[in-house]
């Protein structure tokens, strides 16, 4: 997998809290901003603004449109993203540091899951 989003795009992601069990990232961008390829472990995403994005990985693309206040599971994945909407994106990611039961790792997830 490619890098930590706080390192690949420090102008968009910042670590706001971290301990031995979780790390919390804040993400903010404006229309047209793109992220470099990066990885997320299993995470919970909380949207602080509504947004429209395109998430890409391995030749696949997924459109993501969410309202402010949405909470979604984000299975471990690698992707890049682009703000394709008319408004800024503001979201928080609570990244889990513990492995999934049995040590399994997600493989084909792209974008957030259903509520």
Q: Are 110 and 72 in contact (CB under 8 A)?
A: no
Q: What is the pTM of this model?
A: 0.87
pLDDT in tens, 101-112: 765 555 567 667
pLDDT in tens, 14-68: 999 999 999 999 999 999 999 999 999 999 999 999 999 999 999 999 999 999 9
* pLDDT surpasses 70 at 94: yes
- Backbone dihedral region for residue 111 (phi beyond 0: left; psi -120 to 50: alpha; all else: beta): left
């Amino acid at each position: 997998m490619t890098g930590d989003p706080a390192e690949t795009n420090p102008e968009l992601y910042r670590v706001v809290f971290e301990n031995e069990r979780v790390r919390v990232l804040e993400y903010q961008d404006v229309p047209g901003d793109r992220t470099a390829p990066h990885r997320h472990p299993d995470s919970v995403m909380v949207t602080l603004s509504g947004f429209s994005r395109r998430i890409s990985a391995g030749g696949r693309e997924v459109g993501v449109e969410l309202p402010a206040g949405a909470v979604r599971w984000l299975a471990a994945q690698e992707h890049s993203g682009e703000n394709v909407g008319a408004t800024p994106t503001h979201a928080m990611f609570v990244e889990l540091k513990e492995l999934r039961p049995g040590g399994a790792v997600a493989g084909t997830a792209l974008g957030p899951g259903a509520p």
